Amino acid sequence: MTLPLGPVMLDVAGHALTDDERTRLCHPLVGGVILFARNYDNPAQLAALTADIRTLRLPALLITVDHEGGRVQRFREGFSAVPAMGVLGKAWSDDPVAGCQLARDAGRVLASELIAHGVDLSYTPVLDLDYGVSRVIDDRAFHRDPDATIALATALIDGMADAGMGCVGKHFPGHGFVEADSHVDMPRDARDFDAICAQDMRPFHTLASRLAGVMPAHVIYSAVDPRPAGFSPFWLQTVLRGQLGFSGVIFSDDLTMEAATEAGDIVARAEAACVAGCDMVLVCNRPDLADTLLSRWQPEVPPTLSERLCALHARPCADSVCPGSAAYNQAKAQLAALAERTRRA
* pLDDT tens digits for range 76-101: 999 999 999 999 999 999 999 999 99
In a domain, 202, yes or no: yes
Q: Which CATH number does the domain housing residue 272 bear?
A: 3.20.20.300
In a domain, 90, yes or no: no
Distance CA 167, CA 152 (A): 14
Is 210 annotated in some ligand binding site?
no
The whole model's pTM is what? 0.95
pLDDT at 74 over 90: yes
Residue 204 Cα to chain centre, angstroms:
14
In a domain, 313, yes or no: no
In a domain, 91, yes or no: no
Share of the chain above pLDDT 70, in %: 97
Instruction: Flag the least confident range among 156-170, 251-265, 273-287, 323-337.
Output: 251-265
Q: In the β-sheet with 8-10, what is the strand arrangement from edge to edge?
A: 121-122, 62-65, 30-35, 8-10, 280-283, 249-254, 213-216, 168-172
Residues 6+ apart with CB under 8 A from 240: 172, 173, 204, 208, 214, 216, 246, 250, 277
Q: Do residues 65 and 136 touch, judged by C-beta distance below 8 A? A: no
Q: What share of the chain is helix, strand, coil (3-state, %, to 5)?
A: 45, 15, 40
pLDDT at 319 over 80: yes
In a domain, 39, yes or no: yes
Distance CA 172, CA 165 (A): 21
Is 74 annotated in some ligand binding site?
yes
Write down the mean pLDDT value for the chain.
94
User: Which residues are registered as beta bridge partners of 250?
Assistant: 214
Per-residue pLDDT band for 217 (boundaries 50, 70, 90) equals very high
Which pLDDT tens digit goes with each residue over 132-182? 988 889 899 999 999 999 999 999 999 999 999 999 999 999 999 997 665
In a domain, 101, yes or no: no
> How many structural domains comprise the chain?
1
> What's residue 134's pLDDT?
87
Distance CA 45, CA 93 (A): 39
In a domain, 323, yes or no: no
Residue 66: CB atoms within 10 Å: 19
Per-residue pLDDT band for 328 (boundaries 50, 70, 90) equals very high
Residue 12 CB-half CA count within 13 A: 27
* CA–CA–CA angle 289, 69, 216 (5° rounding): 45
> What's residue 218's pLDDT?
86
Is 170 annotated in some ligand binding site?
yes
Q: Do residues 112 and 322 touch, judged by C-beta distance below 8 A? A: yes
Q: Do residues 174 and 148 touch, judged by C-beta distance below 8 A? A: no
pLDDT at 185 over 70: no
Torsion of Cα atoms, 72 then 92 then 142 then 324, to 10°: -30
Mean pLDDT of 293-309: 96
Q: What is the DSSP letter of 284?
A: -
C-alpha distances in angstroms, 175 versus 224, 258, 315?
15, 15, 31
Residues with catalytic function: 183, 253
Q: 262: burial class by Cβ within 10 Å (0-12, 13-18, 19+)?
A: middle
Is 140 annotated in some ligand binding site?
yes
In a domain, 69, yes or no: yes
User: Which residues are registered as beta bridge partners of 10?
Assistant: 33, 283
> What's residue 344's pLDDT?
84
**Residue numbers of the domain that contains 129:** 8-81+123-153+166-303
Q: What is the DSSP letter of 86?
A: H
Which pLDDT tens digit goes with each residue over 8-54? 999 999 999 999 999 999 999 999 999 999 999 999 999 999 999 99
